[in-house]
Amino acid sequence: MKNYLLAQNLWNVVESSNVPSSTDEEVTANWKRKNATVLHALQISCAPEIFARIMEKTSAKDAWEELAKIHEMKNKWHLDGPQSSRQCSELRRFFEGTIRGC
């Protein structure tokens, strides 16, 4: 997605958090259009459960940061997955042993 936004000259919208402070209405309108374009690209690229997390965002930067958090958590979960599975197996054996009275 970042490469797409770079190619479309839209990445600067993700990097900035505010509407430009310019008094030029054309500059402000251009930024708002670019922000909406980036938000649209992000939203249509998401699965419904992810879209639900960013649909209220009005800033492309805010939406991008939320997506980064989501994917960071998913990546951490995948890294921790085997360890968590091993812990679950150990807890299951402990639980079953407790029920049997061993």
- Output the pTM of the full model: 0.67
What is the spatial distance between Cα 46 and Cα 59, in angstroms, rounded to a whole number? 16
Q: Tokens at residue 49, please?
A: 């459960």
User: How many domains, the chain?
Assistant: 1
**Nearest 10 degrees: Cα torsion 69, 72, 73, 79:** 180
In a structure prediction context, what are the per-residue pLDDT tens digits for the chain, which is 102 residues long?
999 999 999 999 999 867 777 788 898 899 999 999 999 999 999 999 999 999 999 999 999 999 999 888 765 555 555 556 666 677 677 667 666 765
Domain that holds residue 71: 2-100
> Exposed, middle or buried: residue 70 (CB in 10 Å: 0-12, 13-18, 19+)?
middle
Sign of the alpha-carbon dihedral angle for 17, 23, 25, 30:
negative
